[in-house]
Structure 1
Amino acid sequence: MAIQRRMNLTIEQVFPAGAFIVGAVEPVQDWDQAALPDGTRPQKIDKETGLPTWTVPVLDADPEAGKNEKTVNVKIVAKHQPVPPANDTGLPFVPVEFTGLVGVPWIDDSGNRPKLQWSLTATGMDAPSARKPAAGAAGSKAAA
């Protein structure tokens, strides 16, 4: 069986109940490079695209997500710093959908037991489209 290490994903697969930006978009520091004269690190460059890498903290709106799974960092590869969509909801967090979403599995062995984690990378972010929740999403359970 030939399963690729990088898996193309949809926003519905990763965040079926929606996602919200909960912090600033910031450059990812490249810890494999030497520090700059001012002590900072250069920005990480994506090996596949040659574009700078940015990161944004995201809240998973799934009510069944565990407390350690509620927020994740999504990396975005883009020439310029991505700008979050406008927040017209009145909520304290910005609703978001990611385009070109890719997941890469990795093993987190920093705790008592190793566990599978996912590194998420996207090519952009937009305001959520008007869509129905995916099957199995929290919103669809109430309708059943």
Structure 2
Amino acid sequence: MADENNTGPIVAAVETDAELKTSAAKKQRSPRRQKTDAEPVRAVSKATAAKSPTAKPRRYSEQERNEKLKLIETQVTEATSTLKDAIKGAGISEQTYYQWKRTVKPVDQRDEKLLPASDELADLVQLEEENQRLRKILAKKLRAENAELRKRLGLE
């Protein structure tokens, strides 16, 4: 009876034989399509690609860019819409908006630095004179206060 209960190696041998038979039989593939069938599909896909968002991006002129930027800024400042909504309403992406904004801003800053108005120059001179006058008054007050403290402490 001990031999009848010991069926482990026989079952294992039967399972390995079954695995070998199934692996030996290979699956048959269907034949490939000919290239002539694929060409009309490609032509259709090119026609639909022109309508899809992955098509060549549109180029805007400087005037169109400035108009769109002004439109977005006015919508945001008037609180009629959020920045993201205003950008989408203008028909551009957020990345495009920030690129345009970055390229426009340095030009404005250069113009302001190169050409100060005569009024601004006069204001600057006046502020410098007032600054010098206030520094002299402060210096006199500090000298007087310092001298008074020395008398109280008996350092003189």
TM-score of the aligned structures, taking structure 1 as reference length: 0.17
Greater helix fraction, Structure 1 or Structure 2? 2
Which has the greater radius of gyration?
2
TM-score (structure 2 length as normaliser):
0.17
In terms of fraction of residues, the more strand-rich structure is 1
**Structure with larger RCO (C-alpha < 8 A, sep 6+):** 1
